Amino acid sequence: MAPWRTPVHRDGARPDRGNETDQGHASPGTATAVGDAPRPGRADGAGQEARALSQQDLPEALAVCGQDPVTSVLAATRLEIAARAGFSAAGGQAWGFPASGRLEAVCWAGANLVPVVPDPAVRPEAVAAFAALARVHGRRSSSVVGEQAAALGLWDHLSAYWPSAREIRADQPSLAIDRDPDVAPEPSVRPSRLDELEIVLPACVRMFTEEVGYSPVATGGSAYAERVRSLVAEGRSYIRTVGAPGRRQAVAFKAEIGALTAGVAQVQGVWVDPAYRGRGWSESGMASVVVQARRAFAPVVSLYVNAYNDRAIAAYRRVGFEQVGTFATILF
């Protein structure tokens, strides 16, 4: 079994990994944080604490993520940026558990709050300690997202202190593929170009509005448009266009590599224009994304999807994706 895989039983449950041998831990880093001093978090006055991590702690934090690369890709993406360019560039901070000794769990705190707890045996205490830090800092994230038990456990501790969640998506199968797809790739799917932003951005806004329930540009802010622009500039936005030659084209299929580490490319924002649904374009389009992403970015391609979206799950399985875990997302 490939090292990035965690077996999933037929009901979607992951086996207990508490007895596995620890591997790949780097030496502990200093506890002195860059900028503000670390503020330890204690859960309900008992148990071990968590702490803010410094730049020197990042190799060890990434080693924790490396125990389950697919599940941790959202946090590891930010940690890799922080390791290269600093926490400001990564847009948040990292917390570690326990506050002293070898790290056993980490949590990224930025636009999303993302707990990573590879060992279920330490999950209750780690999640409680991360929640204590989150209460100290207040809600700054638009979501809590990650492995199902860790994300929902974190929200259990925070729900009495933070504003009510707008939506809780408690069952989101995490799927991955590390080989050629089972479906023939659509040859017209390609990376989008910066001179196509005028057609790419509206497609992204339509997808987001369908998925989340509101427009990401309704308030006039530029953050979402800048995010789309950056993905296009980095070659991480894929599209299939339709339209007569020489005429204005329209995006009929799109997907982005929304999170990326050295080992895993997580696909986000998969969308087919409603006028072209039911033709198998999602399967052939995703097959093309898998081929191109594995060639350009990482050997493993992953995504997560709501469990109630039976059609999407069936499509991804036809492409060759297999379930390797389960996510949960709490949206604010």
The pLDDT value given to residue 47: 67
pLDDT in tens, 257-301: 999 999 999 999 999 999 999 999 999 999 999 999 999 999 999
- Picking from 157, 205, 207, the residue whose alpha carbon sits closest to that of residue 330 is 157
Mean pLDDT across the chain, nearest whole number? 88
DSSP state, residue 72: T
Question: Please, which residues have CB within 8 angstroms of residue 137's CB and are 6 or more apart in sequence?
Answer: 109
What is the mean pLDDT of the segment spanning 231-248?
90
pLDDT in tens, 15-41: 443 333 333 333 333 222 333 334 455
Helix 197-212 with 223-233: angle, nearest 10 deg: 120
pLDDT in tens, 148-180: 999 999 999 999 999 999 999 999 999 999 999
Q: What is the identity of the amino acid at 176? A: A
Please report the beta strands in the chain, taking only residues with DSSP state E, as ranges in sequence order. Answer: 41-43, 46-52, 93-97, 105-109, 112-116, 143-147, 167-177, 190-191, 237-242, 250-260, 264-272, 300-304, 322-331
The torsion angle over the Cα atoms of residues 271, 274, 279 and 283, rounded to 10 degrees, is: 10
- Picking from 227, 170, 174, the residue whose alpha carbon sits closest to that of residue 200 is 227
Does the structure show a pLDDT above 80 at 113?
yes
Question: Please, which residues have CB within 8 angstroms of residue 323's CB and are 6 or more apart in sequence?
Answer: 8, 12, 173, 174, 175
Token reading at 300: 């493993």
**CA within 13 Å, CB half, 247:** 6
Domains located in the chain, CATH noted: 41-164 (3.40.630), 190-327 (3.40.630.30)
Sign of the four-CA dihedral 249, 253, 257, 259: positive
Q: What is the identity of the amino acid at 192? A: S
The pLDDT value given to residue 169: 97
The pLDDT value given to residue 39: 45
What is the mean pLDDT of the segment spanning 126-145?
95
Q: How far apart are CA 332 and CA 219, in angstroms?
A: 16
What is the mean pLDDT of the segment spanning 135-142?
92
Q: Which of 45-49, 287-291, 305-309 has the lowest mean pLDDT?
A: 45-49
Q: Tell which wins on pLDDT, 27 or 69.
A: 69
The pLDDT value given to residue 46: 53
Q: How far apart are CA 232 and CA 212, in angstroms?
A: 22
What is the mean pLDDT of the segment spanning 190-213?
94
Contact between residue 148 and residue 282 where contact means Cβ atoms under 8 Å apart: no
Question: In the structure, what pLDDT confidence band is assigned to residue 5 with cuts at 50, 70 and 90?
Answer: low
Does the structure show a pLDDT above 60 at 45?
no
Contact between residue 271 and residue 209 where contact means Cβ atoms under 8 Å apart: no
Question: In the structure, what pLDDT confidence band is assigned to residue 82 with cuts at 50, 70 and 90?
Answer: very high
Does the structure show a pLDDT above 50 at 54?
yes
The pLDDT value given to residue 220: 75
